[in-house]
A = this chain, B = another copy of it.
């Protein structure tokens, strides 16, 4: 929003066409006042949006984490936010005017949040069916002079961060070597031939990030910056350096960063190690019915997975925490910045650990999110025009189920047909997490609407029920984009 320079008022008054020019000027000033009059002396009202996404952070995950981390009667920092509502997730088939799909993935949901569009699973800021690129909030903010940042515990090329700053038709096109015929163990998964530079496309996600105008990118995914750029002879990381990024790869380097500067921090090869794990690395396990019970559900007995505690994952110390990355990002973005910024912070492995049936992992990543939120709120306390939004992209498989069945009076073995983890909580109770959406190595997502939170700045802006694309609109309007 341009602020009329006082000198131009004088110039306008001094010319022969003073009156009409002055009227135009007055209208400009009025329009500016109509929006916000709390400008600083530099001519801008600095504003910031900090968007925190808990991947797969549905109400089951929140409740599991609350019980473990704070006790049933305790509260996460999330629980103390003044605005809490719900977001409906929308997905469509990959055709023009496709029918609704009721369960999303992180690619299409991040696209909804980042661009305001509804698209199909697997797509990164591109339209369903027609494969057009969608302008993202980071691109809009950057063009309007805001600084921008991405912080994630996943690879920075993973679906959620990718959808804020790149455009491909398939989420796994993360680096120049993964653009066509992407396979996993001889299974064809997809590809992005139309997105190759050779075909007039923007290239892989890593190349797009390296060439982007983003100021801060922190997370995992170093391996995606090692391949050579398409049609060139340098790795993607070199392209990033050439485009002005300072490259970091260790926690120590991160701790020494100071503004100003543009930074690309890649602290692990892929996803960053998570904070917590099951005792001795255990995850959810199947119950073991006796031979008799195999013959009939109502006879014999069953051995349930032994209770376990959660323990620190020793690998977690090798990388910075989500909070440490968030703190550095806020420092860099806010330094000597009279315009403001947009920052997306993702706790990615709430979802990834749930896919792998590792409830302790999800709990630790919920804790990481709550800590990053503390940083965001501390920043917002000092900088009043900061909208902090917390949400999830989609819901997940994990369910908090009873330690003792509601039907325990019946003398039959009652157990989950899926896999469960029976976790001893610090307050001395047994917390049982069930994973039973499929028989595959990875659980499914689910289709429930997800939570939406904000700080006081969201009051009157964040509705009681939003559809996911509306989040884009709320943030865009807040930054007057």
Contacts and interface: CB of A to CB of B under 8 A. Distances in A.
B465 A79 contact: yes
A417 to B, nearest CB: 4
B405 A438 contact: yes
A428 interface: yes
Interface stretch (A8-16, A186-194, A255-263, A275-283): A186-194
Interface in A52-69: 58-60, 62-64, 66-67
Contacts of A449: 59, 62-63, 66
Secondary structure dominating the interface of A: loop
A438 to B, nearest CB: 5
Interface stretch (A98-106, A127-135, A309-317, A370-378): A98-106
Interface stretch (A244-252, A337-345, A407-415): A407-415
Max chain B Cβ within 10 angstroms of own Cβ: one of A187, A438, A445? A438
Contacts of A432: 102
A402 B73 contact: no
Copy number in this complex? 2
A292 interface: no
A82 interface: yes
A434 B447 CA distance: 11
A444 interface: yes
Interface string A427-442: 1111110101111101
Task: State which size class the interface on A falls in.
Answer: 35 or more
Contact of A444 (B297, B402, B446): B402
Contact of A442 (B58, B407, B430, B450): B407
Interface string A84-107: 111010110000000111110100
Given A99-B429, A188-B409, A402-B447, 12 more contacts: A59-B86, A60-B448, A63-B449, A75-B465, A79-B464, A79-B465, A81-B465, A84-B84, A85-B85, A100-B427, A405-B440, A405-B444
